Amino acid sequence: DSGVTQTPKHLITATGQRVTLRCSPRSGDLSVYWYQQSLDQGLQFLIQYYNGEERAKGNILERFSAQQFPDLHSELNLSSLELGDSALYFCASSVASGYEQYFGPGTRLTVT
């Protein structure tokens, strides 16, 4: 158990819908990272927050957004969902940028 929690574990929704994925980092970790893992794309970095501020952006679509709240939990919002958005979404946390990342168990999103 990494200490990072993610909810929900599974999510099934229809195309065009909007969902919110939630992540709570390990106690004491200030950085939160979001990743998308699909069979054909591997593990793709989406976005990083550090202590509430956006720190780095990766391959995040404009339909996706994220934020980190004062209590350091983070949410990833996915809108206008498409079939291709079906994937595992992982959150990871670290003490600060450039440090070891600890991954949560993931949220499996299925868009039908």
Do 20 and 91 contact (CB within 8 A), yes or no? no
* 14-33 positions binding another protein, by CB under 8 A: 33
* 37-96 positions binding another protein, by CB under 8 A: 42-45, 48, 55-56, 58, 90, 92
Write out the two tokens for 48.
Answer: 């990083």
How many binding residues for another protein (CB under 8 A)?
23
Whole-number minimum distance, CB 96 to another protein, in Å? Answer: 9
Please tell me whether residue 106 binds another protein under the rule CB under 8 A. Answer: yes
Write out the two tokens for 36.
Answer: 């998308």
Residues that bind another protein (CB under 8 A): 2, 4, 33, 35, 42-45, 48, 55-56, 58, 90, 92, 97-98, 100-106
